[in-house]
Amino acid sequence: MTVRKETIDRLASIPNVSVSEGVLLSRHTRFGIGGPADAFVLAASEEAFAQALQLSQASGAPYSVIGDGTNLIVSDRGYDGIVLRLTAKSLQQDGGTVRAEAGAQLQALVDYSIDQGLRGLETMTGIPGSVGAAVYGNAGAYGHSIDERVRQVRFLDGTAVRSFGPAECHFRYRESIFKEHKDWIILSVELSLTPAPAAELRETAEKIFKIRLEKYPATMKCAGSIFKNLILAELPESVRRQIPERVVREGKAPSAYFLEQVGAKGMQSGDIHVADYHANLIYNAGDGTARELCELIGELKSRVRKHFGLELEEEVQYVGFSPTPQPA
Ligand SMILES: Cc1cc2nc3c(=O)[nH]c(=O)nc-3n(C[C@H](O)[C@H](O)[C@H](O)COP(=O)(O)OP(=O)(O)OC[C@H]3O[C@@H](n4cnc5c(N)ncnc54)[C@H](O)[C@@H]3O)c2cc1C
């Protein structure tokens, strides 16, 4: 065990912090995969989280911050260190401005903004996970992503609380500056929304939710799309020529297209399966392991590389691997 008893005792003494030892991270990931964490820390307020983070850093033990675990592959060995999670989840509205703490569920924020008659987040209904991670990975769906509405992000840069406007966040497709600085932890976000009839927003959200449920049943142990789609303009001409126009959406070539061409649908590695109706959706059908999952991801990447000369990039994030799994 990498985390000293003294560190655990000190973490546990912080008000609004709870610490558990040896918690199986499979219980905190939607894949249902992941071994134990030496220490699993839940912080219910920003101040508690900042103290716990500082203490973790000073302890010299490895530490990692997670959200709701819906986009994570955690190693079967677990995490030799401290796993922290901010659970502060307040939502506040002032005119067209909504402030959300990072631990709030994105769905709660979507529902809240709809209830307030505010447009801008309704197409993000059904995306699981926390607000903090949604900003980190610039989550989105149905042609919109959260960056379109972000006005300010407050974060801890390791020592101090800072604020960035949207330009400084360097948002791109499923990317932000927070992915480049993994030690910067998002505390809260301020969004700018537009007044609109709540009933209309609710109708849009309900339609989207229904479609999403068919693709991602509520009990499915998965992470949504495993690989990011590819920006068409960034692909070599030789690859672009092979992509039928009908599959291109919003300037992106879906990874699912390339995966389907190399026979991904229905592939298996132990209990880990590629959905037979969607080539970019991998799920755990029972007692699948991170090893099986990584093997399947490696095989898919290798097939696409050989066939198209393309490197698929995971959207999903790895925890507890050293080094991070490399292309097969
Ligand atoms: C069924 C299903 C469907 C999905 N559909 C979509 C979709 O349509 N669009 C989409 O964009 N995503 C989708 N996803 C992926 C997932 O919902 C998002 O990536 C989500 O934002 C992850 O949130 P989380 O809280 O679970 O983060 P986690 O999986 O716990 O963590 C993801 C990353 O965020 C980082 N992180 C977490 N909190 C913070 C913080 N406060 N500050 C800084 N970094 C932080 C973690 O370190 C980690 O690297 C889907 C996932 C599932 C399971």
Q: Report percent pLDDT > 90 for the chain.
A: 95
Residue 118 CA to residue 193 CA, distance in Å, equals 6
**Active site annotation includes 315:** yes
**What does DSSP assign to residue 143?**
T
In the prediction, which pLDDT does 211 show? 96
Beta strands in 95-254 (DSSP E): 97-101, 118-119, 140-141, 144-145, 150-156, 161-164, 185-192, 194-195, 222-225, 230-231, 252-253
List Cβ neighbours of 1 (8 Å cut-off, separation of 6 or more): 38, 80
End-to-end CA distance of the chain: 30
* Structure token pair of residue 4: 């000293």
**Active site annotation includes 240:** no
Q: Please give the full DSSP string across 243-302, using - where no structure is assigned.
A: S-GGG-BTTEE-HHHHHHHTT-TT-EETTEEE-SS-TTEEEE-SS--HHHHHHHHHHHHH
The residues with which 40 forms a beta bridge, in sequence order, are 20, 83
Query: What number of other Cβ atoms are within 10 A of residue 102's Cβ?
Result: 28
**What stretch of H or E contains 318?**
strand 317-319
Q: Which residues of the chain, if any, have pLDDT below 50?
A: 327-328
In the prediction, which pLDDT does 323 show? 74
Residue 166 CA to residue 145 CA, distance in Å, equals 13
CA-proximal residue: ligand 1, atom 3 (nearest) = 224
Q: Catalytic one among 30, 85, 99, 174?
A: 174
In the prediction, which pLDDT does 300 show? 98
CA-proximal residue: ligand 1, atom 49 (nearest) = 317
The answer to whether the CB of 216 is under 6 A from ligand 1 is yes
Query: What number of other Cβ atoms are within 10 A of residue 161's Cβ?
Result: 13
In the prediction, which pLDDT does 326 show? 62
Task: Give me Rg for the CA atoms of the chain.
Answer: 20
Choose the residue to mutate in 25, 41, 46, 71 for probing ligand 1, maximizing ligand atoms within 8 Å of C-beta: 71
